[in-house]
């Protein structure tokens, strides 16, 4: 297995710097636990989901580290690319750093998605140097706010007790949520099964690129206990269109989730090499 870090160069450096900067900006507070009373304002299916996830009695979440294996493609019918992913997210000032390593036509590709108060960007590079994709701007930041909302719903459900989330009950197995983060306000619908697990997340607020559809969904499955919460370990990312078939551009398998990681233990980009070897 090649050394992934040798292919990351610029994005690895940016990832490490930003993780360190955000850790300094958002130090871990005295962590309180989630109480049953924190769920009283939530719609019934959302409160049931949080209880089933096991968040009551566990610490509130201030940062999240996720390791996952993904399969991505560039378009319907295009080859799948096995991809290693390391994600570090912060909650108090929503920040998402999504670092990936894959290959395209036998050549190494690295990428970094960034989201913070300063905006959002997506940088994909071939051989660690040649830019393939470079997206940014206010519309992109708005769309990525949906991704951050999805992360909280799927990877850190304890965060959903926060006052930045506004709820509307649809029925016993659906609820809509609106997330306010500065100038960006986005909404989604959460779908639950009869047992209380979150089975899908759907939003019409994520369109920004020409290839994007009118609706974005992330079907979920394979729940198990990660030590910090009971979470879905597998999911898809799908664009839905009005005039052509759906496009599933990514499947994700989560291998590890950590909450409230001390600053000196937050991973650096070199950890992606270990994830890629699995």
Cα separation, 116 vs 207, in Å, equals: 19
Question: Domain containing 216 — which CATH number?
Answer: 2.50.20
- pLDDT (0 to 100) of residue 135: 87
- pLDDT (0 to 100) of residue 188: 98
pTM of the prediction?
A: 0.95
**What is the domain range of residue 108?**
5-277
pLDDT tops 60 at residue 4:
no
User: Where residue 183 falls among pLDDT bands split at 50, 70, 90?
Assistant: very high
- pLDDT (0 to 100) of residue 90: 98
Distances in Å between the Cα of 145 and the Cα atoms of 12, 114, 161, 238 are: 23, 11, 18, 17
User: Where residue 5 falls among pLDDT bands split at 50, 70, 90?
Assistant: very low
Residue with tokens 């450096």: 13
The mean of the pLDDT values for the chain is: 94
Distances in Å between the Cα of 10 and the Cα atoms of 5, 149, 192 are: 10, 27, 40
- pLDDT (0 to 100) of residue 2: 45
List, for residues 246-259, the tens digit of each pLDDT value. 999 999 999 999 99
Cα separation, 18 vs 74, in Å, equals: 27
Q: How many residues does the chain have?
A: 278
List, for residues 7-45, the tens digit of each pLDDT value. 456 899 999 999 999 999 999 999 899 999 999 999 999
User: Where residue 1 falls among pLDDT bands split at 50, 70, 90?
Assistant: very low
Cα separation, 145 vs 226, in Å, equals: 25
User: Which class for 71: exposed (0-12), middle (13-18), buried (19 or more C-beta within 10 A)?
Assistant: middle
pLDDT tops 90 at residue 105:
no
Token code pair at residue 7: 């292919």
Considering its fold, how many domains does the chain have in total? 1
List, for residues 208-261, the tens digit of each pLDDT value. 988 899 999 999 999 999 999 999 999 999 999 999 999 999 999 999 999 999
pLDDT tops 50 at residue 191:
yes
Q: Among 134, 119, 143, 124, which residue's Cα sits nearest to residue 214?
A: 143
- pLDDT (0 to 100) of residue 130: 65
Cα separation, 34 vs 156, in Å, equals: 12
């Amino acid at each position: 297995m090649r050394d992934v870090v040798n292919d990351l160069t610029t994005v690895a450096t940016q990832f490490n710097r930003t993780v360190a900067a955000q850790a300094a900006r958002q130090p871990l507070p005295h962590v309180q636990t989630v109480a049953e009373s924190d769920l009283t304002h939530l719609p019934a299916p959302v409160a049931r989901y949080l209880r089933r996830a096991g968040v009551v009695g566990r610490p509130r979440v201030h940062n999240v580290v996720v390791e996952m294996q993904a399969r991505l493609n560039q378009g319907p019918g295009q080859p799948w690319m096995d991809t290693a992913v390391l994600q570090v997210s912060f909650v108090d000032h929503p920040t998402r750093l999504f670092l990936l390593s894959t290959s395209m036509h036998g050549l190494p590709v690295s990428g970094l998605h960034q989201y913070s108060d300063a905006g959002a960007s997506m940088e994909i590079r071939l051989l660690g140097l040649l830019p393939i994709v470079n997206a940014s701007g206010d519309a992109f930041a708005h769309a990525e706010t949906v991704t951050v909302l999805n992360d909280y719903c799927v990877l850190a459900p304890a965060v959903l007790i926060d006052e930045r989330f506004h709820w509307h009950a649809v029925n016993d197995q659906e609820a809509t949520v609106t997330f306010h983060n500065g100038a960006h306000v986005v909404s989604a619908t959460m779908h639950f099964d009869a047992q209380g697990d979150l089975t899908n997340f759907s939003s019409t607020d994520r369109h920004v690129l020409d290839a994007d559809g009118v609706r974005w969904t992330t079907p979920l499955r394979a729940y198990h206990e990660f030590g910090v919460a009971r979470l879905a370990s597998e999911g898809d990312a799908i664009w839905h269109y009005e005039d052509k078939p759906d496009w599933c551009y990514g499947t994700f398998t989560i291998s590890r989730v950590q909450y409230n990681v001390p600053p000196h233990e937050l991973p650096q980009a070199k950890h992606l090499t270990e994830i890629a070897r699995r």
